[in-house]
Amino acid sequence: MNSFKQAVPIIAGAVAFAAIAATPFFAGAAQQTPSLKKAPLAAQIKEAPIYNQRLLNAPPQIKTQITQLRQVAVQQNWTFSIGYTTALDRSIEQLTGLKLPQPAELEAKMVSQNKFAIEALDLDRKYMIAKKFTLAPLPCTAGSASCSYESRMPAIRNQGGCGSCWAFTAMGAYEGTYRLRFNAVIDTSEQHIVSCAGAGSCAGGWWDPVFTWMLGTKVRSEAQTPYTASNGVCTPAPTGTYKAAAWGFVTVKAAVPTVAQLKSALVTHGPLAVAVRVTPAFQAYTAGVFNQNDTGWINHGVVIVGWDDAKGAWRIRNSWGTGWGENGYMWIKYGANSIGYAAAWVRPARQDLVLNPDLLRLIERNRLVLRPIG
């Protein structure tokens, strides 16, 4: 796998946080700088040892930032730990890049797309029956207290300094659903998406035009077009392999879907492409349940892969490598930082089947644009 895309594993295992008023990062108070002590609610949270090691050698500005964030954590009763993640080595603009339509435009798109999705799903069902294929059932029900597709997801990716979160979100949802439905591990090319789908660039984009493009265009594998963390140049060859049969939104409102709506979509379709608000606290998340409630502009894409009602939280997959969060994943409180906004699902088509001719006629009838213009 390309070095830009491949996440560097962090040290396995975890160590307990120390209480803010008494215990230092490591045994021996001489190693603890008072200003870097952790918040009381983070005292029982476990995080990977690498974060403490990084903080000891961090530049002064990072230590100052961590100190300030931990002070806010105390004031706002955050239930997650703050540390020196690799995400803090980049700006939020480099790490994000989601560009959503305005609410009225988004809702109009949601209504038309979901009307199309109902027909496309029915066509896919009939096509699979005709070809004597059956979809594997998903392992969770909406009534489950917890559900996780994490073990079925591919390795964590790293978008680098390119604002291509939208491409990794789209492909993360697609790859996870593909494995759940067809029991096959695939690695699609985000670079092919960034360079050719007409859905965005390193300056930002989103998953709507990616999924629509995939209805009529086959996406290449990572081996065919490796990730370069750049806009790249679109080339007509090689021919790709992976396509979509249908896709739709979880709701037709420009708002965060309800917990019940998101759970229903997860158990019906698989991992979801969703938006979230990234802040410095989000950048510095190392473990626990993220419960910040920042209502600023939504700027990032991630994949919801499960939930836990005991935690009251979603399990999300990020594209910042394993040096952030819990090996690239996060627990985030239901509704925190607008998690779930613009949620969408995608139904992969089997790679060994030709594009459904009935689907192509439906696409033409709905005048969907499958390729970039110009």
In SS3 terms, 87-143 reads as HHHCCHHHHCCECCCCHHHHHHHHHHHHHHHHHHHHHHHHHHHHCCCCCCCCCCCCC
Lowest mean pLDDT among 4-13, 188-197, 258-267: 4-13
> What's the confidence (pLDDT) of residue 40?
61
Catalytic residue among 162, 300, 337, 356: 300
> What's the confidence (pLDDT) of residue 362?
76
Ramachandran bin of 362, using left for φ above 0, alpha for ψ from -120 to 50, beta for the remaining angles: alpha
Which backbone phi and psi does 146 adopt, to 5 degrees?
Answer: -150, 155
DSSP labels, 16-67: EPPPTTT--SSSSGGG--GGGPPPGGGTT-EE-HHHHHHHHT--HHHHHHHH
Catalytic residue among 165, 291, 337, 356: 165
192 classed as catalytic: no
- Residue 27: other Cβ atoms inside 10 A: 10
- The helix/strand/coil state of 176 is helix
- The helix/strand/coil state of 242 is strand
> What's the confidence (pLDDT) of residue 14?
34
> What's the confidence (pLDDT) of residue 36?
66
> What's the confidence (pLDDT) of residue 178?
95
Catalytic residue among 52, 318, 337, 356: 318
318 classed as catalytic: yes
With residue 207 as reference, give the H or E element that holds it: helix 207-214
- Summary mean pLDDT of the chain: 87
- The helix/strand/coil state of 303 is strand
Which of the four pLDDT bands, split at 50, 70 and 90, describes residue 12? very low
Which backbone phi and psi does 306 adopt, to 5 degrees?
Answer: 170, -175
Distance CA 189, CA 180 (A): 19
User: At which residue do the structure tokens 């038309």 appear?
Assistant: 112
End-to-end CA separation in angstroms for the chain: 31
Q: Give the mean model confidence (pLDDT) for residues 284-299.
A: 96
Asked if residues 126 and 133 have their Cβ atoms less than 8 Å apart, the reply is no
- Residue 218: other Cβ atoms inside 10 A: 15
Model confidence pLDDT, tens digit, residues 125-164: 888 878 878 777 888 899 999 999 999 999 999 999 999 9
Ramachandran bin of 56, using left for φ above 0, alpha for ψ from -120 to 50, beta for the remaining angles: alpha
> What's the confidence (pLDDT) of residue 372?
40
Model confidence pLDDT, tens digit, residues 304-318: 999 999 999 999 999
Q: Do β-strands 146-148 and 300-308 pair in parallel, antiparallel, or remain unpaired?
A: antiparallel
Question: In Å, how far are 40, 121, 157, 344, 353 from 130, measured between CA atoms?
Answer: 60, 14, 36, 27, 11
pLDDT of 29 over the 80 cut: no
> What's the confidence (pLDDT) of residue 39?
58
